[in-house]
Chains A and B, each alone.
Chain A
Amino acid sequence: MYALQQEHCLVMPAFAKIQDYELNLSNQFVNAETIAALSEYILDQTALLNEKVSK
């Protein structure tokens, strides 16, 4: 589980650079564990962002 950082920012796995609404994993080997971590990051960050927007 990722620890909450300042301003509710989480840490993103280094292999996953989301920029300008785009995620490109081309030619990067990804196993089940790294994808599980990325998916968890996406879910957590999305929840935080939705919470921020709804306030």
Chain B
Amino acid sequence: MINRRHFLKVMPPALALSGYPVHGFTKDAVDGRIIIIMLQGGMDGLLAVPPIGDDDLFKQRKALVAANPLKLNPLFGIHPNFKNFSRLLKINEASIVHATSFPYTGRSHFEGQNISQIGLRKPFSVDTGWLGRAMDVAKITGKAMSLDAPLLIRGAMEFDNFYPASISNTSKPKNDLLNLIKNSHDEDMMKTFEKLNQSLMQGSDELRARDPLSLASKAGEAMRHNDGPRVAVLTIPEFDDHSSIGSTTGHHPDLFTLLDSVFGQLKKSLKETWKDSIVLTTTEFGRTVQENGSEGTDHGYGSVGLLAGGLIKQSSVVANWPGLSNKALFEKRDLYATIDYRSVCAACIEAAFGLDHGLIIDKVFQDKNIKRTYHHIFG
């Protein structure tokens, strides 16, 4: 029988593209692009971006610190597998937010993933995602192309979802079906579906690519066009490492390499559009500060967010570092999240969609206590 944890492990990487400018509706559309990389399972932020200047790190963790992190500044380093991301940091096109999390301390994947997508404090309280609502407010509409439109981009506005299923002996979606969908819409929407149909017919095989690197390439190619999607959501699963997580090498470091390649591929395939883009990671929670008995880490609270894109002007690590002494830990075991990650998401929406912070926290996150991090991330 498949259990929940196993289900999480076998969920495939996926890509959803959304926010295609609809003819006659988004003529004044913003140029910004947002790409979310959902790191499912809970990324270990202390392994990815170790606070090498905090002596308590080495007291709390005996094995799970990479042997040769790249020093970013006196307090923080980064895992050596993040080579592309480090280069982006060096050229002021990336930033890091540490000791951060969505407002969730329950340590359940299902609740945590739901909160990271709906952006509200109570899990399963709405059926729309924070990015979808942001697109609604910014009046960025259009269709999603995905096997399963993630909750993150579902908004209140009309929304359709289409992805050609891989059924044996069908290499391309059937023309009749595509035309049926197209003809069920009027005017502007019909034109948009015609455009989508054409792209599906031309590149349907590529769309079936399921590895994150190919999906990143596909996302960049689609988004770099003027009439391409404004939003993409990529998922990289399998971060739920309870045992043999690895330090310099191993499973988590391999995932860092993969994530790093995705950043590199996005920059490459977005080309000129990179300057108008922001890529950010989300994860449902961090992992425990101390390693467990099987050289893994368990579900925790605070983690790290990685951001890259041409919209960033000055690289930095943004953190209200809580420390790693026993006293400083959340419930004596987890990194305290001192920054609500929704404030980071809000800053990305502000930078890419040009919305006012007050409007974002009111309409998108429905929490007026979310502070503004725009200055710290985008300068």
| A, B co-complexed | no
Interface positions of A (Cβ within 8 A of B): none
B residues adjacent to A (C-beta < 8 A): none
